[in-house]
């Protein structure tokens, strides 16, 4: 079993040290120029993450109307208090803020990579620029950010939580996680892997599986600390919004799906076409279905919880209630953290072609249905099904490769199969 | 005359209950006809029944046995309506069913202000007792739906609002020691037709067999350019008044080969009045006389009051009664008049945007007078269309004037449940045109929420404007049609099957990978 090592270089080359700022600058330029008006795009921002809805909520809040009494505003009160007090309502400023948030996400990803390689915090690896670039220039991540979708904030929080967990910074990781859970309830599936990651180590053990190495006795205290932060944020939210109506309007939305605006996920058309008397049952099925992956994935990958969270990001990108392109985008970008599994992927070309197919057809069919009026809803629905298959294929392939790597290279006359 | 009507009253009521004679009931009927400047003729029938010394029911008595409520014996007052009013303890009620768009600019102020397109129902109710206001409101609209054969049942929670200022009580609110609440709902796609007129006529003491009501010929009423009926119940210290009215705007120029504006009762309604209604205290026809042109009115008016000619229908008519105006020349409608408006403000309201997911609501208000005017602006918008209030703009000739909007009150819509109520005061400087606009997003509905013929779109209720100078004279902007995205209605099973297949494929493969063991199998040579 040979594993490539990514040699640390204590002193980065001049070109490398400028690469990261240069990439951020390019992103900032595109965000400021705003070549297209993407704010309305249903694929880039869902009703839960739309910048327009956020602005409406802030406007109502500033005018003394409770934005959670109905309507379109479904953002967490944390966003409301952040944007209504600190941050000016200017599009230029927002473009800068969203770019900075992506830069922070890229920074976190680089540091997760370094922690996984066992490099020091300040050590530089030859692959840093590639990791940052994969985050900053993935179109699935970068377009929602240009469209000012708050899913960029959620991705950043998720990566920060993983980064702190990899660096064993317990409180920071739990705080980032509770922020994440407040802004997006479906991120509950990441709770277990992040807690377990804090107890174990972020290094790659895919090739040499073993039983969970951490000390599970610390779990209750971690859980308690997380609950403390989480309830603190809940109380802060209640104070900021002046009531508890925000709970049903924000978290309730991802459970009851009141807004059927099309997105890239599987829920919207399913519940548009659902018979009324089956709706509550299927809402329950879809919500529970999202959660049932957590335990098996964490148990199977108990020796490498970073990989488990990677797989769960993929599951979230397919099955969450209001996904945007940034959710599967984060999963695709995170492939860059696990180069050791690349040789074991079975059909990366097929997956890539499925993604190409879906990413070309989705905007096209969306436009044909809603703007041109020459196509109907089934066109767009069909392209989201292809997209789900593409993401599903990627997750399944990642699972296969993550497990298959433990058996090493195939020898002449022997094949590897499942029982 | 008085003797006969008293006799009829006695005959009608003696079999029911003697004590009802204590309650005096008074029925009056009135028809006003006026020629409009574009050649059309507006007629307005008004039938009023006053139940003296009666008062609205206290909702706290609703829990008591209905048999103790002895006051449900009427002679002239419509019993079916009275029962509904008492059962749900309604203080004030207004129901209008209209078809067409009232052209304010060239027709001026309507005789009855309720000219909004489609059905509109609003009621004031005292809040107290065991039955909640919303519960009684639901009962009221279902009862009225049954009474008038109209789809008022669709005026459900998704269309019901409680606007604060635009619909003040037109009568008096009795002092029951209880707060009163308003419920308002409108449904622009519900049009008035013959099946609504028949129950309307049944509420009249003489039905359509005599009196002014005999002119209500459905073939002509529903052929008019604009027509609508209204049922209003209100309370004054005198008693409870039921006011039934029917308005129509007919076009005498349409059937005539020459451009002559001539009309008569016979030409308008294809009927004349054969006999008068014996129980009517007064039965009056009023014709507003044209201010210009040579014309002849027949027969000679009984009385003249200013520009109005009055006719009293006596208790018995010697010959069928007909009235009409004949002009000497053809109608002249100066083009200069076409652009001028008879109203203090002119209103245009449109929904812009080519796509099915978003749009822009644009309201243009022109102040036709030289003085600044404040206008109350009310939108009761179903949740199908949601406003982005942060994009509100006000412009005068392209110059932003966001200071012209004030007193904004906004009740947010709740998807699948409650409409939005947006009330504000707009200030319009003299002789200026104000453009108000706001971005909207169009909702995506469940497939069961779409009406039949979903591609036609949804009728949105009219906006209401109340100039501050005349708080009772509401103006209705025309209804709008919004085109919402539709799912494929034939696909529920297919979608459930496709989506579940994809979910099962991903779940199954994941389950497979996570639970089955990896094994290394030796393949023998040559196999």
From chain A residues 110-149, the ones with a CB under 8 A of any chain B CB are none
Residue B417 pLDDT grade (very low, low, confident, very high; cuts 50, 70, 90): very high
> B19 CB contacts (<8 Å, ≥6 apart)?
B70
Tokens of B213: 């009501």
- Report how far residue B63's alpha carbon sits from residue B130's, in angstroms, rounded to the nearest whole number: 7
For residue B69, count other CB atoms closer than 10 A to its CB. 14
Q: What is the CA radius of gyration of chain A?
A: 21
Give CA separation, A1 vs A202, A220, A399, A402, A405, in Å. 20, 37, 19, 15, 9
What pLDDT is stored for residue A347 in this prediction? Answer: 95
- What are A266-294's pLDDT values in tens digits? 999 999 999 999 999 999 999 999 999 99
Pairwise CB contact (< 8 Å): A270 & B496: yes
pLDDT of B218 > 80? The answer is: yes
Query: Phi and psi at residue B249, in whole multiples of 5°?
Result: -120, 110
Question: In this structure, are residues B59 and B108 in contact, taking their beta carbons and an 8 Å threshold?
Answer: no
What pLDDT is stored for residue A15 in this prediction? Answer: 60
Does A276 contact B at CB distance below 8 Å?
yes
CA quadruple B441, B445, B449, B451: dihedral sign: positive
The alpha carbon of residue A404 is apart from the nearest alpha carbon of chain B, in Å, by 8
- What are B24-77's pLDDT values in tens digits? 899 999 999 999 988 899 999 999 999 988 888 888 888 765 555 656 778 899
Q: Least CB-CB distance to A269: which of B356, B487, B515?
A: B487
Question: In this structure, are residues A155 and A326 in contact, taking their beta carbons and an 8 Å threshold?
Answer: yes
Ordered by start, the domain boundaries in chain B are 22-327, 343-482
Give CA separation, A127 vs A131, A158, A343, in Å. 6, 21, 18
Q: Least CB-CB distance to A266: which of B354, B502, B519?
A: B502
Question: In this structure, are residues A146 and A96 in contact, taking their beta carbons and an 8 Å threshold?
Answer: no
> Mutate which of A52, A56, A67, A280 to disrupt the B interface (most B C-beta within 10 Å)?
A56
A388 to chain B: closest CA residue: B502
Query: Phi and psi at residue B342, in whole multiples of 5°?
Result: -85, -5
The alpha carbon of residue A195 is apart from the nearest alpha carbon of chain B, in Å, by 21
Pairwise CB contact (< 8 Å): A59 & B389: yes
What pLDDT is stored for residue A2 in this prediction? Answer: 40
A-chain CB neighbours of B526 within 8 Å are: none
pLDDT of B17 > 50? The answer is: no
- Report how far residue A409's alpha carbon sits from residue A403's, in angstroms, rounded to the nearest whole number: 13
Residue B261 pLDDT grade (very low, low, confident, very high; cuts 50, 70, 90): confident
Q: Least CB-CB distance to A40: which of B358, B390, B444?
A: B358
Residue B267, classed as helix, strand or coil, is helix
Pairwise CB contact (< 8 Å): B495 & A270: yes
Residue B394, classed as helix, strand or coil, is strand
Question: In this structure, are residues A132 and A19 in contact, taking their beta carbons and an 8 Å threshold?
Answer: yes
- CATH of region B343-482: 2.60.40.290
> Mutate which of A281, A283, A377, A386 to disrupt the B interface (most B C-beta within 10 Å)?
A377
The alpha carbon of residue B424 is apart from the nearest alpha carbon of chain A, in Å, by 13
Pairwise CB contact (< 8 Å): B514 & A271: no
Pairwise CB contact (< 8 Å): B488 & A260: no
- Report how far residue A186's alpha carbon sits from residue A251's, in angstroms, rounded to the nearest whole number: 9
Does A273 contact B at CB distance below 8 Å?
yes
The alpha carbon of residue B360 is apart from the nearest alpha carbon of chain A, in Å, by 13
Does A381 contact B at CB distance below 8 Å?
yes
Pairwise CB contact (< 8 Å): B522 & A293: no
**What percentage of chain B exceeds 70 in pLDDT?**
93
Instruction: Tell me which of A176 and B2 has the higher pLDDT.
Output: A176
Tokens of B366: 């022109």
Ordered by start, the domain boundaries in chain A are 21-407
The alpha carbon of residue A391 is apart from the nearest alpha carbon of chain B, in Å, by 9
Tokens of B140: 């009221």
Which has the closest alpha carbon to A109: A162, A167, A38, A183? Answer: A162
Query: Phi and psi at residue B77, in whole multiples of 5°?
Result: -60, 135
Burial state string for B457-472 with b = 16 or more CB within 10 A and e = fewer than 16: bbbbbbbbbbbeeeee
Task: Tally C-beta pairs within 8 A across A and B.
Answer: 169
The C-alpha angle A316, A127, A208, rounded to 5 degrees, equals 65
Query: Phi and psi at residue B269, in whole multiples of 5°?
Result: -115, -5
- Report how far residue A153's alpha carbon sits from residue B212's, in angstroms, rounded to the nearest whole number: 72
pLDDT of B390 > 90? The answer is: yes
Tokens of B32: 């006003």
pLDDT of B13 > 50? The answer is: no
3-state SS track over A27-55 = HHHHHHHCCCCCCCCCCCCCCCCCHHHHH
**Dihedral, CA atoms, A293, A298, A301, A306, nearest 10 degrees?**
100
What pLDDT is stored for residue B66 in this prediction? Answer: 58
What pLDDT is stored for residue A110 in this prediction? Answer: 94
- Report how far residue A53's alpha carbon sits from residue A46's, in angstroms, rounded to the nearest whole number: 10
Question: In this structure, are residues B252 and B301 in contact, taking their beta carbons and an 8 Å threshold?
Answer: no
- What are B335-385's pLDDT values in tens digits? 777 778 888 899 999 999 989 999 999 999 999 989 999 999 999 999 999
pLDDT of A396 > 90? The answer is: yes
3-state SS track over B339-387 = HCCCCCEEEEEEEECCCCCEEEEEEEEEECCCCCEEEEEEEEECCCEEE
- Report how far residue B113's alpha carbon sits from residue B122's, in angstroms, rounded to the nearest whole number: 13
Which has the closest alpha carbon to B263: B230, B288, B282? Answer: B288
Instruction: Tell me which of A298 and B61 has the higher pLDDT.
Output: A298
- Out of A5-14, B160-169, B231-240, B428-437, which region has the weakest mean confidence (pLDDT)? A5-14
Q: Least CB-CB distance to A72: which of B441, B444, B523?
A: B441
State the pairing for strand pair B160-161/B180-187. antiparallel
The alpha carbon of residue A246 is apart from the nearest alpha carbon of chain B, in Å, by 13
A-chain CB neighbours of B505 within 8 Å are: 389, 392
- Report how far residue A19's alpha carbon sits from residue A29's, in angstroms, rounded to the nearest whole number: 15
Which residue shows structure tokens 């997105």?
A263
- What are A339-386's pLDDT values in tens digits? 999 999 999 999 999 999 999 999 999 999 999 989 899 999 999 999
- Report how far residue A27's alpha carbon sits from residue A30's, in angstroms, rounded to the nearest whole number: 5
> B428 CB contacts (<8 Å, ≥6 apart)?
B345, B365, B366, B367, B372, B373, B374, B375, B404, B434
Does A207 contact B at CB distance below 8 Å?
no
B-chain CB neighbours of A415 within 8 Å are: 520-521, 523
């Amino acid at each position: 079993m040979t594993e490539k090592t990514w040699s640390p270089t204590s002193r980065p080359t001049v070109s490398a040290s400028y690469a990261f700022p240069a990439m951020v600058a390019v992103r900032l330029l595109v965000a400021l120029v705003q070549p297209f008006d993407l704010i309305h795009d249903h694929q880039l921002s869902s009703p839960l993450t739309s910048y327009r809805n956020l602005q409406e909520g802030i406007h109502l809040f500033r005018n003394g109307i409770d934005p959670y009494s109905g309507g379109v505003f479904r953002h967490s009160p944390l966003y409301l208090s952040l944007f209504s007090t600190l941050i000016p309502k200017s599009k230029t400023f927002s473009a800068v803020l969203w770019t900075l948030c992506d830069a922070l996400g890229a920074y976190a990803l680089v540091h997760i990579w370094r922690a996984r390689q066992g490099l020091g915090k300040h050590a530089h690896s030859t692959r840093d620029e590639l990791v940052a670039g994969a985050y900053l220039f993935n179109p699935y991540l970068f377009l929602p950010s240009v469209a000012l979708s708050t899913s960029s904030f959620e991705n950043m929080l998720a990566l920060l939580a993983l980064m702190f967990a990899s660096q064993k910074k317990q409180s920071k990781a739990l705080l980032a996680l509770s922020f994440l859970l407040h802004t997006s309830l479906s991120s509950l599936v990441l709770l277990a892997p992040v807690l377990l990651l804090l107890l174990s180590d972020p290094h790659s053990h895919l090739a040499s599986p073993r039983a969970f190495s951490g000390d599970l006795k610390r779990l209750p205290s971690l859980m308690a600390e997380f609950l403390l932060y989480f309830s603190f944020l809940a109380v802060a939210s209640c104070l900021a919004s002046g009531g508890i109506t925000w709970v049903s309007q924000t978290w309730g939305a991802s459970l009851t799906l009141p807004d059927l605006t099309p997105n890239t996920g599987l829920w919207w058309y399913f519940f548009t076409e659902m018979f009324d008397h089956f709706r509550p049952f299927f809402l329950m099925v879809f919500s529970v279905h999202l959660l049932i992956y957590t335990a098996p994935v964490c148990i199977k990958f108990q020796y490498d919880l970073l990989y488990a969270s990677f797989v769960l990001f993929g599951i979230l990108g397919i099955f969450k209630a209001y996904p945007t392109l940034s959710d599967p985008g984060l999963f695709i970008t995170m492939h860059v953290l696990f180069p050791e599994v690349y040789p074991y992927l079975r059909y990366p070309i097929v997956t890539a072609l499925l993604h190409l197919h879906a990413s070309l057809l989705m905007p096209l069919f969306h436009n044909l249905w809603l703007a041109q009026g020459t196509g109907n809803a089934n066109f767009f629905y069909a392209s989201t099904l292809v997209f789900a298959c593409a993401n599903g294929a990627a997750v399944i392939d990642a699972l296969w490769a993550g497990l298959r790597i433990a058996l090493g290279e195939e020898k002449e006359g022997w094949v590897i199969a499942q029982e | 005359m008085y003797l006969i009507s008293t006799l009829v009253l006695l005959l009608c009521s003696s079999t029911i209950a003697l004590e009802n004679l204590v309650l005096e009931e008074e029925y009056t009927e009135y028809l006003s006809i006026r020629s409009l400047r574009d050649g059309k003729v507006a007629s307005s029938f008004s039938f009023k029944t006053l139940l003296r010394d009666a008062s609205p029911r206290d909702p706290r008595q609703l829990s008591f046995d209905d048999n103790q409520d002895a006051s449900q014996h009427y002679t002239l007052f419509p019993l079916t309506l009275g029962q509904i009013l008492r059962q749900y303890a309604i203080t004030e009620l207004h129901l209008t069913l209209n078809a067409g768009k009232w052209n304010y600019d060239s027709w001026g102020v309507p005789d009855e202000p309720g000219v909004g397109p489609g059905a509109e129902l609003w009621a004031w109710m005292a809040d107290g007792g065991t039955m909640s206001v919303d519960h009684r409101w639901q009962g009221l609209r279902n009862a009225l739906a049954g009474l008038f054969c109209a789809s008022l049942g669709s005026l459900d929670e998704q269309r019901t609002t409680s606007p604060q200022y635009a619909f003040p009580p037109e009568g008096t609110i009795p002092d029951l020691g209880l707060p009163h609440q308003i419920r308002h709902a409108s449904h622009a796609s519900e049009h008035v037709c013959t099946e609504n007129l028949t129950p309307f006529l049944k509420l009249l003491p003489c039905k359509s067999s005599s009196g002014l009501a005999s002119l209500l010929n459905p073939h002509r009423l529903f052929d008019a350019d604009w027509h609508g009926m209204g049922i209003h119940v209100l309370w004054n210290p005198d008693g409870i008044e039921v006011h039934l009215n029917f308005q129509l705007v007919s076009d005498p120029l349409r059937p005539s080969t020459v451009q002559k504006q001539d009309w008569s009762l016979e030409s308008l309604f294809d009927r004349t009045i054969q006999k008068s209604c014996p129980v009517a205290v007064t039965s009056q026809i009023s014709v507003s006389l044209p201010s210009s042109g040579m014309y002849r009115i027949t027969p000679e008016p009984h009385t003249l009051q200013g520009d109005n000619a009055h006719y009293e229908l006596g208790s018995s008519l010697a010959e069928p009664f007909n009235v009409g105006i004949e002009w000497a020349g053809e109608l002249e409608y100066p083009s200069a008049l076409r652009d001028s408006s008879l109203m203090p403000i002119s209103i245009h309201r449109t929904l812009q945007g080519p796509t099915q997911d978003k749009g822009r609501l644009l309201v243009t208000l022109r102040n036709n007078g030289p003085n600044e005017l404040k206008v109350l602006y009310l939108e009761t918008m179903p949740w199908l269309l949601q406003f982005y209030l942060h994009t509100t703009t006000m412009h005068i000739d392209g110059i932003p004037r966001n200071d012209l909007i004030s007193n904004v009150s906004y009740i947010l819509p709740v998807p699948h449940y409650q409409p939005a109520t947006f009330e504000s005061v707009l200030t319009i400087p003299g002789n200026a045109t104000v453009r108000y606009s706001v971005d909207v997003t169009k909702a995506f509905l469940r497939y069961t929420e779409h009406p039949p013929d979903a591609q036609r779109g949804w009728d949105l209720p009219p906006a209401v404007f109340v100039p501050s100078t005349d708080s009772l004279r509401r103006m209705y902007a025309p209804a709008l049609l919004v085109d919402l995205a539709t799912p494929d209605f034939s696909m529920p099973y297919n979608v459930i099957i496709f989506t579940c297949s994809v979910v099962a494929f991903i779940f199954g493969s994941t389950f497979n990978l996570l639970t089955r063991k990896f094994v290394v199998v030796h393949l023998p040579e040559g196999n």
